[in-house]
Chain A
């Protein structure tokens, strides 16, 4: 396994700093591999698992949760936060981490980036959290990143995002852009014989970067054509003009990364304008089960979404996860891609701590590469040396009941590549 990784790193010509980090990570593996067994017995003494003054006692270890409970982002972040709490509860019920129960301190980022930075600092400096699960938007992550690097904390970030980032102090449990997009574009080009694409996005960094990568892939690899690329301010609710442009250019595929409330307006107007999603192929990278709640399943039925996880995935891990989630948060809740990625955070941290035999952030960061989580709801995942996850790409077709039917699954795990060569 390790040799395999080294080979991959060499093949891809990773930067030297990354290679060094990778080697460090490998070095930590043999020393740490003995410790998990010890941990299950009673838990090693505090002095040995915590040499840097984190909030770890003989019975407890403190972990922070940092999401927006108030403000505009509360809509999206609720699910992530619920999944993290579920995972932590399950871990505690199963005996905790290194023999210690997880104690949660939750802070509200209030959809405001300096507040995120402020609360991140509080969690690290005042509360000495061993790890923090949190953030949703890129802006909030960018705001807390210097804090985590300065005070040496560990952040588990759940959202699929634009890439172009890699930090020792962050584990990205969502997909970066290439991982999410490329396989699904290949699929749509092959299955639907798509040659022309129309891109519509909200106007900020994630859609723009994702569309840039998609455009390069369409033009250079698939030899197709992008016939339109449009961006609208966040919260925009009038899409009739762009729908007319779509009718004029008649693309094979509409490729969208519209976010938030704009989604609702977009799909309702698309349907009202007579664009039938059972005939017109639409591929979205921004609609999960959570968004469909607001859009209404009947308005988006027939659209394709590319994600790594859908609530309807058929495997025992996922069935167990969905049942537990609904038991804890209510029958009516739905589980989207990010919610599942958030659920991975506490487990990956637990597995890494057990592998490293320590809560020390440096040891966790070093031991992360290669950590495998076999019972993830999305299936097997593994942490790459660049701190992103190896995971599969799946394409789901939206059904009128608000769920997705999985129509494609990439055969292998896809390697995360936050700085994709040839796509920048």
Chain B
């Protein structure tokens, strides 16, 4: 791969600006106009997974750390948001039939008579918004610091994160008085007095979600194009050389992992808002691996690819499972295998290899001066 030097490296290449414009056009114009409210809400749900895929591109594609526990961060973000919404829905008037009014219904069923201490901060919206990002990121920091400092990587890291996902699921299901158990936290109604269940609210949330996603793409793009991004790639390809050059490899890895966790957490919080509940089934191993697949199908090296990959896989899942539920699992399995064997760089790889050359060859021949000087030749 030819790498341009840092100096002639603009924030985004023209092709990438185009891709961004296309993505914005798709999210903000085409989909809202083309789809009814129900389908748009579905797309909104898919896009929350795209946050996770985006994080995985940074942490897996660029830094080489495959985490099979992204569901943990998605879930933690989602649970933080759900706790706030649940407290708001469990006002004293709403819960006056309970033996202890003012606490969430599932606590009352489990003979808990006072709000547990760790629920208390979630009475406040600002604290909740901070917690949504901070709690998962801190958790990622603890895991990352323990593992990367001791140079755990590759397959070991993948398996340990997977075990963490399993542990957290068992814990959430087992502590049902504090977490809502296997049913999760359900029946969420309002966000700071604003009813999130109406169609209008769902449309607004869709746009907020889209906006946040684009913002995350820009952050990821910034990281990718910065010196930091270069070091991440260098680490992925030859970790020892980077270490011998005097870089603290662990800190960079921790950073990438935390960033991915923060993205996943934002996705989780938006998921809770749009879907209206959170349950341990998004924390476990299966959703975590599915999220890796979204990134793999889209292309683990491409930020935009990850988003399209997420949309494509989920769209296929919904469509196929509506008409041929049996075929769906065969199809999904085959997709995994095909992506790994035939298209290791996913959709983005196919695009770069087959579509882009055809698109760029002709304009290049017509007006070579149109490209800014020093732009990397593909």
- A–B interface present (Cβ within 8 A): yes
Q: Give the residues in chain B near A233, CB-CB below 8 Å.
A: 170, 173-174
Quick one: which of A112, A117, A138, A164 contacts B276, CB cutoff 8 A? Answer: A117
Does B181 belong to the interface (CB within 8 Å)? yes
> What size tier do the contact residues of chain A reach?
35 or more
Distance, CA A205 to CA B186, complexed state (A): 14
B76 to chain A, nearest CB (A): 17
Does B93 belong to the interface (CB within 8 Å)? no
Does B86 belong to the interface (CB within 8 Å)? no
Does A308 belong to the interface (CB within 8 Å)? no
Nearest opposing residue in chain B for A204, CB measure: B182
The reply to whether A114 and B321 form a contact with Cβ atoms under 8 Å apart is no
Does B184 belong to the interface (CB within 8 Å)? yes
Given contacts A108-B322, A113-B281, A142-B277, contact A118 B42 (CB under 8 A): yes
Which A202-257 residues sit within 8 Å CB-CB of chain B?
203-205, 208-209, 231, 233-234
The reply to whether A146 and B109 form a contact with Cβ atoms under 8 Å apart is no
Q: Give the residues in chain B near A150, CB-CB below 8 Å.
A: 197
Choose the segment among A38-46, A119-127, A184-192, A379-387 that binds chain B (4+ C-beta atoms closer than 8 Å): A119-127
Which B322-342 residues sit within 8 Å CB-CB of chain A?
322, 325-326, 328-329
Q: Give the residues in chain B near A69, CB-CB below 8 Å.
A: 325-326
Distance, CA A115 to CA B106, complexed state (A): 23
Quick one: which of A114, A138, A143 contacts B45, CB cutoff 8 A? Answer: A114
Quick one: which of A138, A164, A231, A424 contacts B174, CB cutoff 8 A? Answer: A231
Given contacts A113-B281, A424-B109, contact A126 B187 (CB under 8 A): no
Q: Give the residues in chain A near B281, CB-CB below 8 Å.
A: 112-113, 139
Does B221 belong to the interface (CB within 8 Å)? no
The reply to whether A145 and B38 form a contact with Cβ atoms under 8 Å apart is no
Nearest opposing residue in chain B for A150, CB measure: B197
Distance, CA A237 to CA B147, complexed state (A): 31
The reply to whether A143 and B279 form a contact with Cβ atoms under 8 Å apart is yes
Distance, CA A142 to CA B174, complexed state (A): 18
> What size tier do the contact residues of chain B reach?
35 or more
Which B92-109 residues sit within 8 Å CB-CB of chain A?
97, 99, 105-106, 108-109
Interface of B is mostly: helix
Q: Give the residues in chain A near B7, CB-CB below 8 Å.
A: none
Quick one: which of A108, A125, A142, A209 contacts B321, CB cutoff 8 A? Answer: A108
The reply to whether B173 and A209 form a contact with Cβ atoms under 8 Å apart is no
Distance, CA A15 to CA B98, complexed state (A): 11
Does A9 belong to the interface (CB within 8 Å)? no
The reply to whether A110 and B321 form a contact with Cβ atoms under 8 Å apart is yes
Does B111 belong to the interface (CB within 8 Å)? yes
Q: Give the residues in chain B near A33, CB-CB below 8 Å.
A: none
Which B295-353 residues sit within 8 Å CB-CB of chain A?
318, 321-322, 325-326, 328-329
B47 to chain A, nearest CB (A): 14
Distance, CA A150 to CA B41, complexed state (A): 15
Distance, CA A53 to CA B105, complexed state (A): 34
Does B152 belong to the interface (CB within 8 Å)? no
Which A132-167 residues sit within 8 Å CB-CB of chain B?
137-139, 142-143, 145-146, 150, 164
Does A401 belong to the interface (CB within 8 Å)? no
Does A107 belong to the interface (CB within 8 Å)? yes
Does A410 belong to the interface (CB within 8 Å)? no
Q: Give the residues in chain A near B173, CB-CB below 8 Å.
A: 203-204, 233-234
Distance, CA A126 to CA B182, complexed state (A): 29
Distance, CA A104 to CA B110, complexed state (A): 39
Does B20 belong to the interface (CB within 8 Å)? no
Interface of A is mostly: helix
Nearest opposing residue in chain B for A206, CB measure: B182
A159 to chain B, nearest CB (A): 13
Given contacts A113-B279, A145-B187, contact A139 B182 (CB under 8 A): yes
Nearest opposing residue in chain A for B99, CB measure: A424
Does A70 belong to the interface (CB within 8 Å)? yes
Does B203 belong to the interface (CB within 8 Å)? no
Does B176 belong to the interface (CB within 8 Å)? yes
Given contacts A15-B97, A146-B276, contact A70 B38 (CB under 8 A): no
Q: Return the CB mask of B163-175 against A: 1 if under 8 Å, else 0.
A: 0000000100110
Q: Give the residues in chain B near A114, CB-CB below 8 Å.
A: 45, 275, 277
Q: Give the residues in chain B near A138, CB-CB below 8 Å.
A: 182-183
Given contacts A142-B187, A146-B197, A209-B109, contact A125 B176 (CB under 8 A): no
Q: Give the residues in chain A near B183, CB-CB below 8 Å.
A: 138-139, 142, 204-205
Q: Return the CB mask of B100-139 against A: 1 if under 8 Å, else 0.
A: 0000011011110000000000000000000000000000
B282 to chain A, nearest CB (A): 8
Q: Give the residues in chain A near B170, CB-CB below 8 Å.
A: 203, 233
Q: Give the residues in chain B near A113, CB-CB below 8 Å.
A: 184, 277, 279, 281
Q: Return the CB mask of B205-243 against A: 1 if under 8 Å, else 0.
A: 000000000000000000000000000000000000000
Q: Give the residues in chain B near A139, CB-CB below 8 Å.
A: 182-184, 279, 281
B3 to chain A, nearest CB (A): 42
9 closest pairs, A vs B, by CB? A204-B182, A142-B186, A108-B325, A142-B183, A69-B325, A139-B183, A205-B181, A70-B325, A233-B170
* B residues with CB within 8 A of A: 38, 41-42, 45, 97, 99, 105-106, 108-111, 170, 173-174, 176, 181-184, 186-187, 197, 275-277, 279, 281, 318, 321-322, 325-326, 328-329
Between-chain CB contacts (< 8 Å), 6 pairs: A108-B322, A138-B182, A143-B184, A204-B173, A208-B181, A233-B174
Told that A108-B325, A143-B184 touch, could you supply 16 new A-B pairs with CB distance under 8 A?
Answer: A69-B326, A113-B277, A117-B277, A125-B38, A139-B182, A142-B186, A142-B187, A143-B279, A146-B186, A203-B174, A204-B173, A204-B176, A205-B176, A231-B174, A233-B170, A424-B99
* A residues with CB within 8 A of B: 15, 69-70, 107-108, 110, 112-115, 117-118, 121-122, 125-126, 137-139, 142-143, 145-146, 150, 164, 203-205, 208-209, 231, 233-234, 419, 424
